[in-house]
Structure 1
């Protein structure tokens, strides 16, 4: 997977694995929301190797993910999904990898889907031995059950205030909806929480999920009062070390194009693997 001068090549097989893991994450989170709210509130439907899910109004889990690596969806499948979203007065959002079957994008645009944004998937190759490097004065530990609120406060604040550098996100999520989604993902999808303290005070939080040899870095944020002190890099280093020890061969993160988050992870050795197109039908 690695090429000359440390470049990281991502072919269709690796992209398919990453997208399967992403679809699995959305599926498990959507299933947990259904268990929490009642089976009729939302849905999780397999579609052409990916998944269509609706958790609750305004949730970041409301999407179609993982398409393009197991054929093109049938028109009847899309019609059913579109009807289910319409019944919930929610636009259909499909996230499609540039390395997937081009027929997916062709079909979606024919059905009136509009290109509204992009997001980048970056990755770093793992293997051998990787030690965690933590900045002076910073301590990173797994977040215990009694620390969930403290962890959520710092992470939700990061979601609520996205990067202003680069291409702006087309989405915003209320804090209570973020909290619901994170609880669902932690409970059902095996997402692990990390809390960073600096000189004893809560300074940052992060999360990670591992599946099929892929470590998904599913969010990180630093309290503004503790920025520029190595909190973010410490949270990243600890997660990468744990993922390596657990046998993962790649870690991935999703960012807005040209964002500060993308800049930060590329400085840590991540490479741009591919871009997802965000297509929406309202």
Structure 2
């Protein structure tokens, strides 16, 4: 990539990406509340961020987008911690390295510990981008009649993660993954893609368009079809679609040193910033009053 097309990882750029992430998580949580009105779904603003609990063990259960603009008070954080404790859930923050450093300091003083990192990579888009597909891999957008096939491919692929790079500290029940993917798929600007090899479903991925940002998310390949160009083809197809839709920026989140990171960097993505993942280390007496035991 030529220098003039590169991205400067500024606080402004990080804020734009974090806002897109916040809106995606919020829409997914609200879809979870609609899917199961009996579930005690939690969607609470916290400064510039958002605290979400979308169901037991859901990948959406976290706090995102903090430290970008408005601060949150200790009283507001007390209320979030109490609400999570009542749901027997630990509070997990994802904090950008370009956010206000005082956020991490405050959290560590309250007993939060660092559990890991995730990388946020970006690529400047242009409308002349061409998609290059691997041989025998055919990708199509997912219509209503293919939704369940696509969903099963995504969930089955996630169930057997690629072991290259740093292992994830997170493990989710199968039904929680299925619910979260189904819920996020109802968000605005969302498009699912299904890859086939010789007509057989091999992998799936998601694209979400938000205010000019193309979020590449929810990608998975069935184990027997890996190392055959499925994810590269899905990436290329989504990038071309995002550019054609007028997006100027594509972003993807990966585990450090993972196969997914390697795939996107081959297409020109660059590391923009890192999110630190901090989790409350232990419940306090306050956490268990009037609710279920904290998990």
TM-score interval for Structure 1 and Structure 2 normalised by the shorter chain: over 0.9
Equivalent residue for 1:209?
208
- Call closer, same or farther: CA 1:195–1:117 in 2, change over 3 Å: same
Distance in 2 (alpha carbons) for counterparts of 1:222 and 1:188: 22
Equivalent residue for 2:254?
255
For the 8 Å contact 1:64–1:92, the answer to whether it is kept is yes
Are residues 1:131 and 2:141 paired?
no
Equivalent residue for 1:43?
42
Equivalent residue for 2:179?
180
Distance in 2 (alpha carbons) for counterparts of 1:40 and 1:196: 33
Distance in 2 (alpha carbons) for counterparts of 1:71 and 1:49: 5
Equivalent residue for 2:60?
61
Equivalent residue for 1:108?
107
- Call closer, same or farther: CA 1:5–1:17 in 2, change over 3 Å: closer
Equivalent residue for 1:21?
20
Q: Number of matched residues?
A: 281
What SS does the aligned partner of 1:116 have?
strand
What SS does the aligned partner of 1:14 have?
helix
Equivalent residue for 1:272?
271
CA deviations over 1:128-155 (Å, ceiling 9, x no partner): 3112222222211001212122212221
Equivalent residue for 1:194?
193
Distance in 2 (alpha carbons) for counterparts of 1:61 and 1:36: 15
Distance in 1 (alpha carbons) for counterparts of 2:2 and 2:274: 20
Output the aligned Cα RMSD: 1.6
CA deviations over 1:62-107 (Å, ceiling 9, x no partner): 0000111113211111001000000001000000000001111111
Distance in 2 (alpha carbons) for counterparts of 1:245 and 1:111: 46
Distance in 1 (alpha carbons) for counterparts of 2:127 and 2:241: 12
TM-score (norm 2): 0.91
Equivalent residue for 1:151?
150
What SS does the aligned partner of 1:108 have?
helix
Distance in 2 (alpha carbons) for counterparts of 1:80 and 1:38: 22
Distance in 2 (alpha carbons) for counterparts of 1:4 and 1:198: 36
For the 8 Å contact 1:162–1:169, the answer to whether it is kept is no
**Offset at 1:228?**
2.8
For the 8 Å contact 2:139–2:193, the answer to whether it is kept is yes
What SS does the aligned partner of 2:169 have?
coil
**Offset at 1:265?**
1.1
Equivalent residue for 1:71?
70
TM-score (norm 1): 0.95
Q: Which segments of 5 or more consecutive residues in structure 1 lack a partner in the other structure?
A: none
For the 8 Å contact 2:26–2:43, the answer to whether it is kept is yes
Distance in 2 (alpha carbons) for counterparts of 1:139 and 1:68: 42
Q: Which segments of 5 or more consecutive residues in structure 2 lack a partner in the other structure?
A: 283-295
